[in-house]
Amino acid sequence: MAEKNFDIIVFGATSFVGEILCDYMVAEYGVDEDIVWAAAGRSIGKLDALKKKLGPSAKHLELIVADADSEHSLREMVERADVIISTVGPYALYGEKLVKVCAETGTDYCDLTGEVQWSRLMGERYGDVAKKSGARIIHSCGFDSIPSDLGVHFLQSQARAKFGAPCERVKMGVKAMKGGMSGGTVASLLNVLKEAKDKPELRAELADPYSLCGREHGFTARQPNVTFAAFDKDFNVWVAPFIMAGINTRVVHQSNALSEKSYGEHFEYSEAMFMAGRMQATGASLAMGAFMGLASVGPTRSLLEKFALPKPGEGPTPEQQFKGYFDLRFKGETSKGEVLEVKVTGDRDPGYGSTAKMLSQAAVCLAKDKSKTGSVAGFYTPATAMGDVLRERLIKFAGMTFEVL
């Protein structure tokens, strides 16, 4: 084993999100002070260019060459760090070897994947390995799905304090959101659609709200699912489907399963987007349905990739990231009808500016706060691995708020 001389190594540092994340890490921590970290990727030329772009504060940043296809190079990298951040997607194509090596070496790992079918597969293949080695593997540490996962976790802790019981039914509504999409996110989404096209079993898995809960989860509650424009009586607003709901709801149910059903055996959870009225909700629903339909068919998907969607490495400008934001509302109801509402906000565009800060703080939490979180080895969600400790970090360092209304 090599000496572990880094708290964190950022693998995929030259990706679109990776560059934003490295810029944030330099601004928040320097490179070799409270947090000692390094940047890794497969191209030394691109890593050198990134280091220059980061400026004088990054002059001591160590660069590490590693390739997602080379288990040997990944192992050499992983053995030098306490925690690995991975921004290299689509994870179903490029992510497994790194998870395998982290699980085998006892190295903590976090990423920003929204590919739930891949997350499930990794847990099944390497869960026992991670428990044996001491590794903590945490998927979905960006906008998918920290705000949803920690938002529900926060609401439930407040409900227990106020009512003495968790909320049996919870809804999340996106009240406001501004941000762009990068080519990396598009590539991950399209890869899932490509896989699902010829695999009926995968389509069934993607439709299962409990797909991340383990084969013997025991949940039977029929889950609500917003598939078209509807009027939500609880929020008193028209809503439309939220494209990230298929990811976030699975992670929230996984947290319930991992915490021994602390949200309840019959817990229900759904997500939607608030709309100004019926017409806007209908238009948004039709637009999302049309996009998913076109992206699911090979010829039209190719046309979208060529002419309409951002390419890998492309995404919102720094100004657009700075002007972005999100405001999410969570409303819960206990079995006795008691109601509680909380909100979660972020001060940058959700997918990139805020995601970079969330992923960074998740890694720092794993590296520095193990005694506070109490989490042990294995595959976890952000809420079950880090919970309130991560929430406090996000409030202090990542421009997020968690507030009871």
Summarised one tens digit per residue, pLDDT across range 215-226 is 899 999 999 999
Report whether pLDDT(71) > 70: yes
What pLDDT score does 308 carry? 81
Residues of the chain with CATH 3.40.50.720: 6-142+353-387
pLDDT (tens digit per residue) in 41-56: 999 999 999 999 999 9
Q: Which CATH number fits domain 6-142+353-387: 3.30.70.920, 3.40.50.720, 3.30.470.30, 1.10.3720.10?
A: 3.40.50.720
Find the range with the poorest average confidence among 24-28, 192-196, 203-207, 246-250. Answer: 192-196
Among candidate residues 92, 90, 2, 91, the one with its CA nearest the CA of residue 38: 2
Q: Does the pTM exceed 0.85?
A: yes
* Omega prior to 299 cis, within 30 of 0: no
What pLDDT score does 213 carry? 97
pLDDT (tens digit per residue) in 270-311: 999 999 999 999 999 999 999 888 988 889 988 888 888 877
pLDDT (tens digit per residue) in 101-142: 999 999 999 999 999 999 999 999 999 999 999 999 999 999
Highest-scoring range by mean pLDDT, 87-91, 198-202, 282-286: 282-286
The C-alpha atoms of residue 221 and residue 62 are separated, in whole angstroms, by: 50
Which residue type is seen at 217? H
pLDDT (tens digit per residue) in 320-346: 889 999 999 999 999 999 999 999 999
Q: CA torsion sign, 53 to 55 to 57 to 60?
A: positive
* CA 310 distance to own-chain centroid: 20
**Which two tokens mark 11?**
């693998």
The answer to whether 374 and 259 are in contact (CB under 8 A) is: no
Q: CA torsion sign, 342 to 347 to 349 to 355?
A: negative
CA–CA distances in Å: residue 307 to residues 187, 301, 311, 350: 14, 10, 10, 24
pLDDT grade, residue 189 (50/70/90)? confident
Burial of 150 (C-beta count, 10 Å sphere; 0-12/13-18/19+): buried
pLDDT mean across residues, the chain: 94
pLDDT-above-70 percentage for the chain: 98
Report whether pLDDT(158) > 60: yes
